[in-house]
Structure 1
Amino acid sequence: MCVSGRLVSIGVSSGASGWGLEVKGCPSQSCATLPPPHHQDRQEEETQKGVTLSVLNQRDASLIFHKVFPLWQYWAHWWDLLWHLERLEAGRVVVLAVSVSGTIGLRHAIPTLIHLGALLVPHLPPRARWTWVFVKGGRTISETAVIEGSRTHQTHATTMLSNLPHPAHYPGSSRVLEEQRWKYCSSYGVMGGLCDELCPDLLPLPLPKSLNDAQTLALVPVIVTAGSRHQYLYHALTALLSAPGAIHSNVLVVLGDAPSSTTSLLSLLNISYVRLEVSGSSNMKLFHYYRDVFHLVATRFPEAPAVILLDEDIEVSPDFFSFMSQTLGVLQSDPTLYCINAHSAGGFRGLAHDETRVFRGSVQVEWGYAITLDFVREALSMWLNTTNPNTLYYDFWIYMNVRKQRECLFPEMTRSRHFGMGVNTNAYIKERGPLSMPMVRRAPVMLQDINRLHLSAWRQHLYLKIFAATPLQGNPCSSSFLPSPPSSSYYVFYYKLNRLKGGDGRPDPYQYYNVAECLGTWGMSEQGHHDGLKIIPFARNSTLLIVGVPYSHYSRLWPKQPKLWNVDALTDKEFRQIRNYTQMRVTVANEHVTSDVLMERLTGH
């Protein structure tokens, strides 16, 4: 250990060929040197591009967190950086550096960086090299930038280590538990409230409020799949276990590849876990892992009425268990359903207004879902004999091969958020999807007309709404297409939608995509529709029903007039209007900033 109050030296480099961090001044332990001094192949080099975040223990300068954020990409990774910055504990020594390229994707993380004390970051052009060393909640130790050129630049700084002791015992928690906490926090950083020395989270975790119908979920296990991302896992578990209706003893974390940072955390939180043997690589490894999770559920909880599953990077709403408890009976009694999703299939900002409404539609299991044990066994009967899957994404594989035209229930306003960035995260889709959805923040919410979600009642409900709806016509990409303000509670729009040839009953994705994108809902796949009908709550008291003809079950209600809108029959001018309307804009900050411009901004001259 470094002696308290000792000076340590921190060297940081940033350049077109990479970056580096070297900490000196820890004679009795190995100080941090990053990246590790070994040959990197091209794939490894690619993972080192972006903005690097390294966190040092303020008492001994040991490295307690490191991650590279691929901010050479424009979309969504700013969210992940922001998420981690918000969980930095006060007093930590923090090192940020650009490796190769990384400022173009900083975007919405910049205000937080400024709040933390960064001076240069709001002015950096896309190819800038940048380093910043600071103490969270304290002072900047060093901040440097090279605006032009490709040379690697280096900076060296010194800082005094903290000589403050770890926090004393806190009321309401045992001394042994607190000692375990601070031992854990001396080795792992960016843990948020767990390791916040000024206002730490309570341990043991407080018991949540109960629900009136608590017995509905009493026998339902909650499976959290996890690995090495213990920062994500802590946030997911604290949100889950604080939600009203959570039953601590029902939660089981199922680990694949999990280091001691994860198992020690679970022991600290007194949460049950099991390990599964995993083999292979990348998505084939994940495909087999989730198969084994299903097998574990079937063998360990054979009498359970259902199971709830979510990953380590899912934040649930306070209303998560209330939503599940109110809808579980419909899932169990309706054979045309196979899952309940806490995640909304179309609840984007501006298209999600009513916390009490629930829909049904063709979607895959995603981001906090419930399925019956019968469905678990049905999936396993196919899964265990699958040697050459048509997709390695297990959730999509279930959708394609096991679902068999069954649907899921999902809320208008989401009860879960996928906040993490993983191996299969598409940054563009992430920003278009989960990051733009408002989540319910109160509980319990009493859902409306639950029994109407059974298929026969749902179809009758939609028939009545379509029959009474005001028809719309014209180009859905036109800014005047949707009435504002709306004068009817329901509108209907009919458009050309064929069955995809060889698509196993699915609709034509191109025809669906253009209508969905124009109307601001999810268009990257056909998921979310019910029998070719998509529900779009475009205003607080007004809903648009879009019906694909002849694909939809509800096509018979099309009155033959007005004429079907058909993307395949548009003029070039009309098609250009679609492209202009649906494309997300890219705005590159400081694109033309030079060293002279930066000096003028900083000096005011």
Structure 2
Amino acid sequence: MAVSWRVLVNTVLLITVVGNFAFLYSMYNAPNRYHPEGHGTDVMTMYEDGDISIAGGRVNMATTTTTATTPQHTMAEAEDKRAHVQSSEPLRVRAYSSKALARISVNDDTVLEVGESAGEAGRGIHVAVINGHTGALMDTNKFDTYVEGADLRLLSYLRGIHPNRIVALAVRDEASFHLGNDARMELIKMGSIKIGQLQWRDTWAMVARVGSPDKTSDALARAPDFNHWGEGVEVSAEFERHAEDNGCNWPDTPHFKQRRAFCARYDGYGELCRCDHPPAIAPSPSPAPPLPNMATTPLVIMASENRPKYLLRSLRSLLAAQGCIPSNIVVSIDGVDKMEAEDVCKLVGVTAMRHRPTSEKNGRISQHYKFALTAMFDRFKDAEHVIVMEEDLDAAPDFFRFFSTALPLLKSDPTLYCISAWNDQGYTHSTGDVTRLYRVETMPGLGWLLSRRLYKQELEPRWPGPDKLWDWDMWMRMNENRKDRECIVPDVSRTFHFGATGLNVNDYFQKLYFAKHRLNDDPTAVVNTQDMTAEAYDAALRRQIAASHILDTQQPCGTMVPDALENTNTPLVLYMTMKSAGDHETWLQLAKCWHLWDLDVRGFHKGVWRFYRKGNPIAVVGTPYSPFSSHKPDALEPLFMAAPKKKQTR
């Protein structure tokens, strides 16, 4: 007997639907987990250098300066939509969901609206967090739960919203496909009755007050069949304004006054704004002598005005790294309309500057990079090098030591182009030595250092204009700019890409290509810079290949490493077919098999890829293109893996 698609989906979600009632029952018969947090009683200690210690951490309180490319009142006017007129009238919150539109309003003023023109970028669950006393919009966010991984971010986000905030959720297009049980259960705890029933292309909306699940309202409209969407659905609720929140009982210091104001204006910052035992902005690393080269090497963080929470996470990791000099950090914010990213900089105590956007899409990002690099070398006139970070990168605890140790290589070797903290092939299963460095012909980015001479004499005069919608990093990788020079990268990366939203990334892409990268966690690690000049590196690589165990090429997608050799640090070599510099057919298939970077070709040196395989250093040698293929035994047939044939379309 044929079974309809809806019957199948209902069967899969049966446990979740039944769970609605169990969780709702438990909420009314157990202590409320959303009780307001208690007031902290931590003691703040002042240090002679102006730092403060909170709950064992230490924070530098340097003064923030801001360079704006637009009058301050313009940004303030753009922010006016955050603040709803205060009055005694109740707050009427509406959320509307449909295939083409998600909209949220407070007392008939629209605070969030995403239409069909947003395309896939507007798909998923849209969330607005509203101050329960003033009615001000505190935060908005979007979770594309059509793709894998977004529901975990949604779960974390919901758990970080503070009690008495009003939360409105609206769906545009589709939100059920990868909305897992944990996120659904969290919404049920908040009072949702319908979320357990949400299925393919149903529409759903919800309005709730955090900590008061009995005040929650949600509604759902069924999709009539697999190929169509549910009708538009709207839910509304009216909330009495709660008493004005005077903030946490934190010490009466400039920092905590600033933090209190920040947390009253914005939401979604979790533990940073909790009243009980608030963490330091960043724990101070253990005392250590200044790192060579770092006092005159500033760092710029490339940031958009739309991802301030990413920016805070990145800044906290940098401030916790050994050798960090906060006064050397500048955040370049692309955009002049929103204040939150700049307020993050003020809270942390670093300098911010703003870039008025030009161009669009990748061209806009490219113009922002040119603006920031020019500004940094102009601002720090004695700096011969600049480190470039991005707002969605964590820094390793030895981030600055890595650059301090590797920088002399760039200074002394004209065959080098840059130093990068990121290894494109540096996954948890493909790395093995925190001290090892490689030379690669591609510019990795994602935490990198370049020289004033390179930028001012070569790159800046030729930088693509606003009319070129190019990726800046792809442009820098072109050999007309690189000129056969190479970059130094570590075996184990000193940055970690955590951003799941952006122009060129989503939750699925982040999980597939970035989430399993390895970040060094050893603060005492020191990279080995021996044999890193061009001639010495090639000589050492030849010695390694000559002494390596040659892998069988018959089962390329298997382990290929004999059991007796696993995790023995035995050098391995694999010879594969590579007839010319542009012949990457076999490598891309092998990279896919071994779960390495396979979107394009990166991380090679003269036709050789180096990483770790089953706990052993391996060199994959392109034959006959690579000069290192001369070590291949004559009788050995190099590995060849054909790319799958493309399906023909009529």
TM class by smaller structure: 0.7 to 0.9
Aligned to 1:594: none
Go from structure 1 to structure 2 and tell me whether the alpha carbon gap of 1:458 and 1:481 turns closer, same or farther (over 3 Å shift): same
Aligned to 1:494: 575
Go from structure 1 to structure 2 and tell me whether the alpha carbon gap of 1:493 and 1:90 turns closer, same or farther (over 3 Å shift): farther
Q: Does 1:536 align with 2:614?
A: no
Could you give the per-residue CA deviations for residues 280-322 of structure 1, whole angstroms, max 9, x where no partner exists? 2222222222122222233233432321111222221222112
Q: Does 1:71 align with 2:145?
A: yes
Q: Which amino acid aligns with 2:242?
A: S
| 2:510 aligned residue (416, 421, 430) | 430
Q: Which amino acid aligns with 1:209?
A: S
Cα pair 2:358 2:466 within 8 Å, conserved: no
- Structure 2: unaligned runs, 5 residues or longer: 1-83, 225-229
Q: Which amino acid aligns with 2:258?
A: Q
Go from structure 1 to structure 2 and tell me whether the alpha carbon gap of 1:129 and 1:519 turns closer, same or farther (over 3 Å shift): same
Cα pair 2:149 2:511 within 8 Å, conserved: yes
Q: Which amino acid aligns with 1:99?
A: R
Q: Does 1:444 align with 2:563?
A: no
TM-score, normalised with respect to structure 1: 0.81
The 5 Å alignment of 1:173-572 reads: 174=253, 176-202=254-280, 207-212=284-289, 214-228=291-305, 229-258=307-336, 259-384=338-463, 386-387=464-465, 392-400=470-478, 401-420=480-499, 421-425=501-505, 428-447=508-527, 449-484=528-563, 486=565, 489-499=570-580, 506-540=581-615, 542-568=616-642
SS, match of residue 245 in structure 2:
coil
- Structure 1: unaligned runs, 5 residues or longer: 25-29, 500-505, 580-605
Q: Distance in 1 between matches of 2:368 and 2:440?
A: 27
Q: Which amino acid aligns with 1:493?
A: L
Bigger drift between 416-425 and 111-120 goes to 111-120
TM-score, normalised with respect to structure 2: 0.76
Q: Distance in 2 between matches of 1:78 and 1:364?
A: 33
Cα pair 2:149 2:507 within 8 Å, conserved: yes
| 1:13 aligned residue (79, 96, 118) | 96
Pairwise CA RMSD of aligned residues? 3.3
CA offset at residue 116 of structure 1?
A: 6.2
SS, match of residue 484 in structure 2:
coil
Cα pair 1:6 1:160 within 8 Å, conserved: yes
Q: Distance in 1 between matches of 2:158 and 2:362?
A: 29
Q: Does 1:100 align with 2:100?
A: no
Cα pair 1:236 1:316 within 8 Å, conserved: yes
CA offset at residue 494 of structure 1?
A: 0.6
Alignment: residue pair count: 551
SS, match of residue 439 in structure 2:
strand
Q: Does 1:43 align with 2:117?
A: yes
Cα pair 2:433 2:491 within 8 Å, conserved: yes
Could you give the per-residue CA deviations for residues 110-162 of structure 1, whole angstroms, max 9, x where no partner exists? 38846965676566433232334444566462344444432122333344443
Q: Which amino acid aligns with 1:567?
A: M
Go from structure 1 to structure 2 and tell me whether the alpha carbon gap of 1:31 and 1:217 turns closer, same or farther (over 3 Å shift): same
Q: Which amino acid aligns with 2:262?
A: Y
Q: Distance in 2 between matches of 1:526 and 1:474?
A: 21
Q: Which amino acid aligns with 1:551?
A: Y
Go from structure 1 to structure 2 and tell me whether the alpha carbon gap of 1:123 and 1:321 turns closer, same or farther (over 3 Å shift): farther
Q: Distance in 1 between matches of 2:242 and 2:418?
A: 52
Go from structure 1 to structure 2 and tell me whether the alpha carbon gap of 1:43 and 1:151 turns closer, same or farther (over 3 Å shift): closer
Q: Distance in 2 between matches of 1:532 and 1:82?
A: 44
SS, match of residue 288 in structure 1:
helix
Q: Does 1:142 align with 2:221?
A: no
Bigger drift between 140-149 and 456-465 goes to 140-149
CA offset at residue 513 of structure 1?
A: 0.6
Q: Distance in 2 between matches of 1:432 and 1:361?
A: 23
Aligned to 1:583: none
Q: Distance in 1 between matches of 2:467 and 2:627?
A: 31
Aligned to 1:154: 234
CA offset at residue 514 of structure 1?
A: 0.8
Q: Distance in 2 between matches of 1:311 and 1:63?
A: 27
Q: Distance in 2 between matches of 1:284 and 1:34?
A: 27
Bigger drift between 489-498 and 151-160 goes to 151-160
Cα pair 2:377 2:452 within 8 Å, conserved: yes
Q: Distance in 2 between matches of 1:316 and 1:44?
A: 33
Q: Distance in 2 between matches of 1:425 and 1:470?
A: 39
Q: Which amino acid aligns with 1:218?
A: A
Cα pair 1:213 1:325 within 8 Å, conserved: no
Q: Distance in 2 between matches of 1:445 and 1:220?
A: 20
Bigger drift between 320-329 and 205-214 goes to 205-214
